[in-house]
Amino acid sequence: MSHVIRSSLWLAFFGAILAAWWIMYVMAMDMDLDLLGRPGPMGQRMADMDPRMPMDMPMARFGPLFTMWAIMMAAMMLPTLVPTLTTYEQLMVSADGTRAGWLGVLLGYFIVWVAFAALIAAAQIALLFGGVINMLGVAPRWLSAILLIVVGAFQFTRAKEVCHGVCHAPMRYFLGQWRTGFAGGLRMGLGLGAFCAGCCWGFMALGFVGGVMSLLWMGLATVLMILEKLPDIGQRIIRPVGVVLIAGGLGLAIV
């Protein structure tokens, strides 16, 4: 029976990820965007709209934007949680971990990223009504260059090192912060989610460079965040990624 429960939960987990990616794809197509986030004729008209116009524009309201970002967090961040959940499963054998605790870790982690979705949705609304970005969440060249340089520079900071250390080696976090049961798993999941948000916030901010509905950006950011958590190469790619981002920002600033 335990194997059936385990299989069912993992299937539901990956099913949720696939569903989130499908929803994002459908949303992009409905907005007349290609995989790079570039608008077609209808999408361009949407991009050029003034958010203050007296008509219903979901991308200019917090509720729809928050929902979009929450689904995006599920699509992008849940895959990065796989090593953490499998690590917890190891402790279900060697320690007193439970399947309820496993669910608590998952829920706590996702709660943090849903909170982050609310924060970045609010930032997008502020930038939109401030005339900084357009309706599709695309930043001007100067802001895109700044974002690339800032996120690239963050890759070299102590904060990145500390947060990445927890995300990269969840076993050490579990051993130091171990709590039992669903409540204990929830508490650990909240902590892991906070460190993960501290590690990966920059990749989310880069959505404004090419447009927050760019499936290419979503895919690349997800792959980078997964690679950063892999035991063998995670530590090795942080600074090279930072160099590439800074170079991209400088290149964008001078062309």
d(C-alpha 166, C-alpha 194), whole Å: 10
Number of domains in the chain: 1
Which residue range forms the structural domain that includes residue 190?
2-254
Least confident of 46-50, 99-103, 117-121, 155-159: 46-50
Task: Decide which of 15 and 136 is more confident.
Answer: 15
Whole-angstrom Cα distance, residue 84 to residue 29?
33
Angle between helices 158-168 and 234-254 (to 10 degrees): 140
- The confidence band for 198, taking pLDDT boundaries of 50, 70 and 90, is very high
Q: Which of 76, 45, 84 is nearest to 192 (CA)?
A: 84
Q: Mean pLDDT across the stretch 41-55? A: 74
pTM of the complete model: 0.91
| Contact status, residue 205 vs residue 151, Cβ threshold 8 Å | yes
Cα atoms in the 13 Å half-sphere on the side-chain side of 175: 8
Question: pLDDT band at 10, cuts 50/70/90?
Answer: very high
Tokens of 52: 């203050």
Query: How much is the average pLDDT of 233-239?
Result: 89
